Structure 1
Amino acid sequence: MILNLDFNSEKSIYIQITEEITKAIAKGDLKINESLPSVRSMAESIGVNLHTVNKSYNELKDEGFLNIDRRKGAIVASLPMIGENNTKKESMLDLELLVAKSYLSGMSKGEFLELSSKIFDSYEVKYHE
């Protein structure tokens, strides 16, 4: 599994790992019921502390994107059910902040919607099949 991490970013590594895995699931690069590398293996391959990877996996579990089993490890979960967690509400808050930042940077509504549509369409292909 290839993760695009920026060790010079102000964004913490565990958040970057969480986001990269989320995008991989949405794009279908990681399939439902597919196992992720063990925490130790992932940590060694990207050169981070195993607690960093463990925190990412647990965050993804809490969001409903992974199931974690002591014997099987981290496994991609089925699509989270709306209402099972606050994913939809959190997405709304994240989107609101993104819209505000885009607006303040001078992006027009049309540009924002076009870009958003292209990005959304890149995810729509495989996960819901």
Structure 2
Amino acid sequence: MFIEIQTNSSVPIYLQLAQQLIEGMVRGELNPGDSLPSVRAFAADLGMNMHTVNKAYHYLEEKEFIQIVAKSGVIIQPNGIPKASANQKRQIADQIRPLLAEGLVLKLSEEEMVGMIHELVQNIKEGK
């Protein structure tokens, strides 16, 4: 799996890393039970601070996408990731809402925004 960090992005590096690992899960590049590199090894491979990798891992652990097992390592949720709960759906909707409002202010139609979402979903699945 190829990780590309954009240092000039307004998105924090730890979040870029976490989001790319999530996309790898979507594409099946990372599967339930797969091991991830140790914080130290991953940081060295990516040329970034260990604290950044650690923060990304804890973000993913909080979302229950991975398990961090002391002295054993980091693994993708071994039992698979369950379908989103009502609370998780609500959280995602709360995050999307401001972006949709901004699109509406910019006179994007509902159809244009749905088309953008469809295209983004396809790009994630295809690794673009």
TM more than 0.5: yes
Change in Cα spacing, 1:122 to 1:6, as seen in structure 2 (3 Å) is closer
Residues 1:56 and 2:56 aligned together? yes
Residues 63 and 87 of structure 1 are in contact (CA less than 8 Å); yes or no, is this contact kept in structure 2?
no
Which residues of structure 1 form unaligned runs of 5+?
none
Who is 1:7 aligned against? 7
CA RMSD in angstroms, aligned pairs only? 2.2
1:4 shift after superposition? 2.0
Who is 2:98 aligned against? 97
Q: Secondary structure in 2 aligned to 1:40?
A: helix
**Poorly superposed stretches of 4+, deviation over 4 Å:** 121-125
For residues 55-74 of structure 1, the aligned pairs below 5 Å read 55-74=55-74
For residues 1-129 of structure 1, the aligned pairs below 5 Å read 1-77=1-77, 78-80=80-82, 82-83=84-85, 86-121=87-122
Which residues of structure 2 form unaligned runs of 5+?
none
1:123 shift after superposition? 5.7
TM-score, scaled relative to structure 2: 0.82
Aligned residue type for 1:89:
R
TM-score, scaled relative to structure 1: 0.82
Corresponding residue pairs, total: 124
Change in Cα spacing, 1:62 to 1:11, as seen in structure 2 (3 Å) is same
